[in-house]
Amino acid sequence: MTVRRIALVLPLLMFLGFVALAVYRMGEPQQRVIASKMVGKPVPAMDLVGMDELHPGLNDGDLRQGTVTLVNLFASWCAPCRVEAPQLKELADKGVVIHGIAVRDTPENITAFLKDHGDPFRRIGMDPNSKAVLNLGASGLPETFLIDGKGIIRKQYIGQIRPEQVAEILKDIEEAKGS
C-alpha cells in the first residue's frame, strides 16, 4: 500500500524538481559560457604568422619568457572587440604585455581597426582558420587568456573586458607573478 501511495505522489515530486531546476536556471545569465579546459595547463604549441613589421608573429615559446602576458583573441569584424578596446589600451598603458590573435581577418582590416580603436598589442599572430582559437579552447570572440611566465594558462576571460574588470585583471596578473 505504501508503494502505491508513493507512486501517487511521485509525479508531483518530479514536477516540483523540474520547477526548482527551472527557477535555479532562470537566475543564471542568459549567455552560455563554455569554459576552456586549457586553463591550468601549458599553452599549446602554436606558431602564428605576424601581421606586419610592427607586429611580429606569436608562438608558444614567446609566452614562456618569464613575464605574465595577456593573449587577446579579436577580429576587426567583431563588434564587442571594439567595445573592449579602451580597456585593453588602459591595461597596455599600465605596462601589461598584451599579444593579439587576429581571427579570420586580413592585415588591411586589422590596420584600419587598430587605427580607429587603438593598438595595445606587442605581437599579433594571424589565425585565418581558427586553429589557435580551437587549440586554446576558446569558443567566440573576444576572449582573453592570462598566461604566467612559465607559459601556463592561468585564467580565461570570456566576452568583452568591461571597464570594472580592469582592476580585477591587474590583481590576477600580480598573483600570477607571485608563482
Partner 1 sequence: MIPEIGHAALWLAAGLALAQALAGFRADGGRIAVPAALLQGVLCAVAFAALTWAFVKSDFSVALVAGNSHTAKPELYKWTGVWANHEGSMLLWAAVLAVFGALAAIRAKGLGERFRTVMLSAQGFIALGFYAYLLIASNPFARIVPAPIEGSGMNPLLQDPGLAFHPPLLYIGYVGLSVTFSFAVAALLLNRVTPEWARAVKPWVLGAWSFLTAGITLGSFWAYYELGWGGWWFWDPVENASLMPWLAATALFHSVGVLAARGALKNWTLLLAVVAFSLSMVGTFIVRSGLLTSVHAFAVDPERGIFLLVLLAIYVGGALTLYALRAGTVTAGTPFRPVSREGGLVVNNLILSAVLGVVFLGTLYPLFLEAATGEQVSVGPPYFQTALLPLLLPLVAVMAAGPLMRWRAMDWAGLGRRLVPALVLGIAAIGIALALGMRSPLALAGVALSAWLAAASVMIFRGRKLKRVRRIPASVWGTALAHLGIAVTTLGIAVSGAGTIETLANLAPGGRLSAGPYTAQVDDIMPAAGPNYTAIRAMLSVTGPDATIVLAPERRTFVNPGNETTETDIWPRLTGNLYAVLGPGDGSGRWQVRLVWQPMIALIWIGGMMAAFGGLISMMQGRRRREDME
Partner 2 sequence: MRALLPLAFLVLTAAAEGPALPPAQEAAARTLMHELRCLVCQHQSIADSDADMAADMRAVVRERIAAGENPEQVKSYLVSRYGDYVTFDPPKTGANLVLWAAPLLFLAIGAVAVWRLYRRKGA
Give yes or no for residue 24 binding partner 1 (CB under 8 A).
yes
Q: How far is the CB of 92 from partner 2 (least distance, A)?
A: 27
Give yes or no for residue 36 binding partner 2 (CB under 8 A).
yes
Q: How far is the CB of 97 from partner 2 (least distance, A)?
A: 24
Exactly one of 3, 5, 45, 95 binds partner 1 (CB under 8 A); which one? 5
Give yes or no for residue 54 binding partner 1 (CB under 8 A).
no
Per CB under 8 A, which of residues 122..141 are in contact with partner 2? 129-131, 133-137, 139-140
Q: How far is the CB of 103 from partner 1 (least distance, A)?
A: 18
Euclidean distance between CA atoms 115 and 122, whole angstroms: 15
Query: HEC states along the chain?
Result: CHHHHHHHHHHHHHHHHHHHHHHHHHCCCCCCCCCCCCCCCECCCCEECECCCCCCCEEHHHHHCCCCEEEEEECCCCHHHHHHHHHHHHHHHCCCEEEEEEECCCHHHHHHHHHHHCCCCCCEEEECCCHHHHHHCCCCCCEEEEECCCCEEEEEEECCCCCCHHHHHHHHHHHHHHC
Pick from partner 2, partner 1, none: which does 130 bind, CB < 5 to 8 A by kind?
partner 2
Pick from partner 1, partner 2, none: which does 79 bind, CB < 5 to 8 A by kind?
none
For cell 602554436, what's the residue? Answer: 46
Contact residues toward partner 2 (CB under 8 A) are 3, 7, 34-38, 104, 129-131, 133-137, 139-140
Contact residues toward partner 1 (CB under 8 A) are 4-5, 8-9, 11-12, 15-16, 18-19, 21-26, 30, 32, 34-35
